[in-house]
Structure 1
Amino acid sequence: MHILIVDDDEKICAMLELFFNKYNYQTQIVHSGEDAIELLRTSVGDFDVVILDIHMQGICGIETCKRIRTFSDIPILMLTSSQEDINTIIALEVGADDYMIKPFNPMILYSRIKNIIKRSHKQTQILTNKKLISYTFGDCILDTSTQTLKYNSEMIPITTGVYRVLKYFLENPGIILSRDNLMEQTQNRSLENFDRSIDIQISRLRKILKDIGFSDAIKTIHGSGYMWTLPVHQKNS
């Protein structure tokens, strides 16, 4: 596995490089968003995952992630030293696959890196499967071959995280899905204490659905989880 580390903190970079090298993982370090974007544009296929710090001089991690997503779906895990939810929300909205708050346990970071790569490989296998599925609800179509959502033939922008959550709801209409279950199925990891990433994704999805007239699509079942309430039709390609 080849990891691109993007952080202007040289101590953090050195620590991560030493840690991952113990597991025989290749690492490459750059200290700015500009350098990361330039490197990935020319050699994105050389890397399996990006570890990207939010707070950097020059182009911040949020903007760097946003620009990377214009040309690549490479898995991205973001690091932040802030406890504020807004940073997490923005990171996930611009396309980050996961995040960790500094200081962190390197073993937990290692586990999360493996999980997002595993998810990425699963998604690649799905996209190469001949029996791709589209899901229709109302005037909306979720196309799994392109991971896109359309409303009345108009493209609705959604992040990778929101796509996964919506797809899992559409696969299980009328079924109560717990937060633990949603986390495991859409992020391939267990729900941790104070982890609000799944709630953030659902909140973002609800806003998208509300904007196109489906404010009641996801029902909160207090003490149990969430349930998709609209009829869903599946079509195999």
Structure 2
Amino acid sequence: MSLPLIVIAEAEPEARHEVRQSLEQSGFRALPAANANDIWKAMDSMAVGVVVLDAALRGPDGMDLCRDVRERSDVPIILVGANSSEVDRVVGLELGADDYMAKPYSPRELAARLRAVLRRRRNDRALGTRRPAEARFDGWTVDSSRREVIDPDGDRVELTAAEFSLLLVLLDHPQVVIARARLMELAGVRDTPSSDRSVDVLVSRLRRKLRHGGRAAPIVTVRGGEYLFSAVVDRR
């Protein structure tokens, strides 16, 4: 099996070189990217495993690129930024990032987070081969083998890798109350001081995408720290 390709979109040339070296020493293939054009070229010509995206990237900036990459692909994105405030983390997650890391970060932590993101993607695909490929609820169709979500009108709804992982967990536990910590574990969310907030943001994003025709998504908050998927799920 070929090593996963990690695109390192970093504003500073020296940092790009250092991160590339450290990732290659950790068993990844790493491709440096200085701007948006480099990212698009890589995504158009190669199978990219993860994009590590510097929020300070210029022309357009990293935050705008995060949104653009997410609109174009479900490739996992780890957003990195100099500001570690909750506001920046939440904004990054809202724009479609799967994880957020504050600078400076250690190469060991980055490698661990990359493995966690890739492991979650592999788990999604493996589960898709073991469970019935298709699940239906409230007129929606989810095909886990194709990673497709189709709304009641027949239109495809794009989900990030993290959102899709969360949806699969909820579909596997319909009408069951799941504690936030257990949801984190099942969805493969890395346990960090900001993990609780990250899960809440993911749930919020998924709710918005599963709204249709004035009908709210069937994801209910129970007692503040637990969630319930209230719809009946039909497996095919």
TM-score range, shorter chain: 0.7 to 0.9
Letter in 1 for 2:9: V
Question: Does the 8 Å CA contact 2:120/2:165 hold for their aligned counterparts?
Answer: no
Picking from 18, 22, 35, the partner of 2:25 is: 22
Q: Give per-residue Cα distances to partners, 1:17-58, cap 9 Å, x unaligned.
A: 33224324332212112222123312x22x433211122110
TM-score by length of 1: 0.81
Partner of 2:138: 138
Partner of 1:202: 203
Supply the distance in 2 between the matched residues of 1:32 and 1:58 (Cα, whole angstroms). 7
Compute the RMSD of aligned alpha carbons. 2.8
Partner of 1:7: 10
TM-score by length of 2: 0.81
Picking from 32, 35, 39, the partner of 2:35 is: 32
Supply the distance in 2 between the matched residues of 1:19 and 1:74 (Cα, whole angstroms). 22
- Say yes or no: does 1:175 pair with 2:182: no
* Matched residue count: 231
**Per-residue deviation, 1:197:** 1.4
Q: Give per-residue Cα distances to partners, 1:103-157, cap 9 Å, x unaligned.
A: 2233222111011112222334455x38643222222222323321312333334
> Which residues of 2 match residues 78-97 of structure 1 at below 5 A?
78-85=79-86, 87-97=88-98
Supply the distance in 2 between the matched residues of 1:37 and 1:216 (Cα, whole angstroms). 33
Partner of 1:53: 54
Note closer, same or farther for the CA distance 1:90–1:117 as it changes in structure 2 (3 Å cut): same
| 170-179 or 73-82, larger mean C-alpha shift | 73-82
**Unaligned runs of at least 5 residues, structure 2:** none
Supply the distance in 2 between the matched residues of 1:35 and 1:218 (Cα, whole angstroms). 38
**Unaligned runs of at least 5 residues, structure 1:** none
Supply the distance in 1 between the matched residues of 2:177 and 2:151 (Cα, whole angstroms). 25
**Per-residue deviation, 1:6:** 0.8
Note closer, same or farther for the CA distance 1:121–1:218 as it changes in structure 2 (3 Å cut): closer
Partner of 2:112: 111
Partner of 1:100: 101
Note closer, same or farther for the CA distance 1:62–1:212 as it changes in structure 2 (3 Å cut): farther
Supply the distance in 1 between the matched residues of 2:63 and 2:35 (Cα, whole angstroms). 12
3-state SS, counterpart of residue 158 of structure 1: coil
